[in-house]
Amino acid sequence: MGLKNLCARVAVIGSSAVLASGMAIGEASATSTNIDYWSTSTAPVRCARAMCLYYSPGAEGAIWQNGLSGAYDLGYWSFYDDHAPNSNSSAGAGQAVRNNAASAENGSVNCTMSIYVYPGGYGDVNVLDPGRGGNLTSGMRNNEASVNPEDWASNAGWCQ
């Protein structure tokens, strides 16, 4: 059953929730729909790519950063120490990125980036707007598997 058909079915069974499908209650500003909390311009500036994951909360600990093509399985990469000042940057260095990240930053200017629980961009998602960073939700922290640029949000086909 496609999600679109499910929308009609939900109306029939009277469910009023549907935060998951986004069909009912709305969200307002970006700050309630995503994990944006700080600007990536906050010192020390570490994220030079579109997607950066950190071993520790608050953009601390070892780092992993990727280009715009996304990563369908973070198990193929490891965190590394970029020697950033005041960042405890060696914590977690050498550990697999998959299921070990606590925070993230989006270093792009024009692309929304997302982190998913499952490989391939499946399951629950944490979203970051361009130039923003945030801590992963409790269900995603140390439980993330893939990252993806959200091309659906870019009509010009920029983010692939």
Partner 1 sequence: MLTPLQAAQRQWVSQVILGRCLARFGFDYPDAGPQPTATSTALTTYSLLSRRYGVSDPDSVRRWGYHEPRGDSTGGKQTKTLLLAGLSPAEQKVMTGFDPATKRPAVSYEGRKIPPNGCRAEPDRALGAEPSPAPGTAAGKTRAANVVDGLVTRLKADSYQQSLDDPRVVAAFKKWSSCMKRSGYHETDPMLAPGKFLSSPSPRPAEIGTATADVSCKARTNLIGIWFAVESEYQDAAIRRHSGKLAEIKADLRRETANLTSLLSHEKNNTRD
Ramachandran sector of residue 61 (left: φ over 0; alpha: ψ -120 to 50; beta: rest):
left
Q: Check binding of 86 to partner 1 (CB under 8 A).
A: no
Quick one: which of 128, 155, 98, 126 has its CA closest to 37?
Answer: 128
| Whole-angstrom distance, CA of residue 145 vs CA of residue 93 | 18
Q: Check binding of 62 to partner 1 (CB under 8 A).
A: no
* Least distance (Å) between residue 160 CB and partner 1: 6
How many residues at the interface with partner 1, by CB under 8 A? 91
Q: Check binding of 142 to partner 1 (CB under 8 A).
A: no
| Whole-angstrom distance, CA of residue 108 vs CA of residue 93 | 24
Q: Given candidates 53, 59, 63, 104, which one binds partner 1 under the rule CB under 8 A?
A: 59
* Least distance (Å) between residue 2 CB and partner 1: 5
* Least distance (Å) between residue 138 CB and partner 1: 7
| Whole-angstrom distance, CA of residue 140 vs CA of residue 136 | 6
Instruction: Give the x-and-dash track for 22-41 against partner 1 (CB under 8 A).
Output: x--xxxxxxxxxxxxxxxxx
